[in-house]
Structure 1
């Protein structure tokens, strides 16, 4: 029997492109997913944070899942986003299973927090509703104790933990107690910034926002980090990653809209627009990002062929 396991490497999180009428741009979404696959990303996480999960209708959610599965055609695992409002989470978890997704990333409960026992019950309710692989997403009000993760790890569906908190003491405790029974995914904002702290703990994958528009640089960064070519890592930090991150930190919501702006700058059929409360990138910041990306491509021209194992 094949062991269940979480995706590794650089994880692809497509956006949800919108047309001039605010509707899902199906063609642009398919192109986004195909681009990520062509660039060697190891998995697709559809309708998650970058995909504005919180603003999707049930019909749009189903559409996004259908497009992702149609484009990937089994070449890479497809994970969906579920969580928040519990009844909807259960509906969308079942839809993901019925459609043939490989698993889902389980978001925290909507707005309210709870004791560890309640948090475990919330995640168990969703995870046990299907047999799909599940990744626990630690962020916001969902902060797990090591004991809670151990309890959830007893469920065969649970294959990993994605950390969006950044408490390294907690991460050391969890990873060194639980070990490789779980996959460990770095889900911090602009995860390239923190990945050097995560790799020694056993985190072997991360979600990359910049892979939607400069995936070859994200790949070069990760390869340099794993090979301990720290001079290359530092240069990519100084010239590309930290300048983009500085713009990202200027406004709430840029975690999503800055991705769309970067894609538009790089010629993808994605407009610099998002659904409220997320706002588009402001003109000043847009120009700053343009300058960074121009410089990035001068320093790191894209290879004609992606070398990926």
Structure 2
């Protein structure tokens, strides 16, 4: 399960009385599928995995499997202590998931070798392909990354640390290991707003990334991805300056806004996915207002880019064609 392209990490919607809104969730998933991501990663960080009970988790994964109906892989988050992570992995397999994203072990920090033991312990519970999420207390070194190759179902590493130098060392160690699985092993950019680091990560051989923006502004997320794929530096810089950098500055004001602000964005887009669960806090009204302005600024910049492209006869960067089901202007795969 080596994935190429833009990756979707759907939100989990909650009702005012603190239940999961599966109808809204199904609509959210369909909107994500319209953007043609390489895979859906459900019940993960953006999907508030740590806030879900076991039955809720099963409902979220099973609903995603039903709605997606084989159109793209459904990868389910699992995590916590080793025994609990195994139980979530088994629940994901029973619910029909195509793969697993293993989140860091709960609270306890260990050595890179200890992390490999944890990964092996969870991976052996099912036959599902498993991606290791490197962040917080789950930190690999080059030897540990190479050791993952000996766990047959581990197919890659998703990086949430943002240390490009350290990530280069992992990628190089794996690719030059001589292991028969080295070339097929995947590396994903999983930073909260990965668009800011896409170019740096692509330079070290990590070309797939997760996009929280895809959850609430798929037109901007797709336009940026297409600009990166096409090597359109002007469009990339423009979208970074006019949308992504202001969005990240707002996101960084409050811990937990990597989820709460994304839910607010979905609401601005006409799909109310409810509040976040504690310990997260919902976006403040003034911050939601600022987000609306940032979205308007980003879309204005995108419209200007497309107008210029039309005048010059160049390929447009607009992601609307993909969302409507029409082919991309440049024929690029998404």
TM-score normalised by the shorter chain: which range applies? over 0.9
C-alpha distance in structure 1 between counterparts of 2:110 and 2:270, whole Å = 44
Query: Does residue 52 of structure 1 match 2:48?
Result: yes
RMSD: 1.3
Match of 2:311 in 1: none
Larger radius of gyration: 2
Q: Does the 8 Å CA contact 1:11/1:205 hold for their aligned counterparts?
A: yes
Q: 1 CA distance for matches of 2:271 and 2:112?
A: 43
Question: Within 2, Cα distance between the matches of 1:258 and 1:303?
Answer: 22
**Inter-partner Cα distance in structure 1 for 2:228 and 2:81:** 38
Once residues 197 and 141 of structure 1 are traced to their aligned partners in structure 2, the CA distance between those partners, rounded to angstroms, is: 23
Aligned counterparts of 2:250 and 2:320: Cα–Cα separation in 1: 29
The corresponding residue for 2:148 is 152
CA contact (8 A) 2:143 2:173 kept: no
Question: Contact 2:239–2:301 at 8 Å: present in 1 too?
Answer: no
Match of 1:170 in 2: 166
* Residue 199 of structure 2 corresponds to residue 196 of structure 1: yes
| Alpha carbons of structure 1 residues 146 and 70: separation in structure 2 relative to 1, 3 Å | same
The Cα offsets for residues 216-236 of structure 1, whole Å up to 9 and x where unpaired, read as 211211221232211111100
Are positions 1:254 and 2:257 aligned together? yes
- Deviation at residue 204 of structure 1 after TM alignment: 2.0
Q: Deviations over 1:267-287 (max 9, x none)?
A: 11323x111110000111111
TM-aligned CA deviation for residue 303 of structure 1 = 5.4
Is the CA contact 1:6–1:135 (under 8 Å) kept in the aligned structure 2?
no
- What is the DSSP-based 3-state SS (H/G/I as helix, E as strand, rest coil) of the residue aligned with 2:79? strand
1:99-114 alignment, distance < 5 Å: 99-114=95-110
Which residue of the partner structure matches residue 5 of structure 2?
9
Task: Provide Cα deviations, 1:146-197, integer angstroms capped at 9, x if missing partner.
Answer: 1111111112211111001111111111112212331110011200011110
Aligned equivalents of 2:91 and 2:241: distance in 1? 43
TM-score, scaled relative to structure 2: 0.88
Aligned residues: 304
SS at match of 2:107: coil
Alpha-carbon distance in structure 2 between the residues aligned to 1:203 and 1:181: 13
**Counterparts of 1:174 and 1:190 in 2: how far apart (Å)?**
21
Moved more, 288-297 or 24-33: 288-297
Matched, 1:243 2:246: yes
Q: How far, CA to CA, are the matches of 2:320 and 2:109 in structure 1?
A: 48
Do the aligned partners of 1:79 and 1:103 also contact (CA within 8 Å) in 2? yes
Query: Any unmatched runs of 5+ in structure 1?
Result: none
Find the aligned partners of 1:226 and 1:26 in 2 and give their Cα distance.
Answer: 34
Contact 2:8 2:32 in 1 (8 A): yes
Match runs of 1:1-309 below 5 Å: 5-179=1-175, 180-271=183-274, 273-300=275-302, 304-306=320-322, 307=328, 309=333
Of residues 92-101 and 236-245 in structure 1, the stretch that sits farther from structure 2 once superposed is 92-101
- How many angstroms apart in 1 are the aligned matches of 2:111 and 2:186? 24
The alpha carbon displacement at 1:304 in A equals 4.9
Counterparts of 1:303 and 1:228 in 2: how far apart (Å)?
16
The worse-fitting range, judged by mean Cα deviation, of 35-44 and 92-101 is 92-101
- CA distance in 2 between counterparts of 1:117 and 1:281 reads 39
Using the alignment, how far apart are the partners of 1:88 and 1:35 within structure 2?
31
In 1, the alpha carbon distance for the partners of 2:10 and 2:273 equals: 11
Unaligned runs of at least 5 residues, structure 2: 176-182, 304-317, 323-327
CA drift at 1:211:
0.2
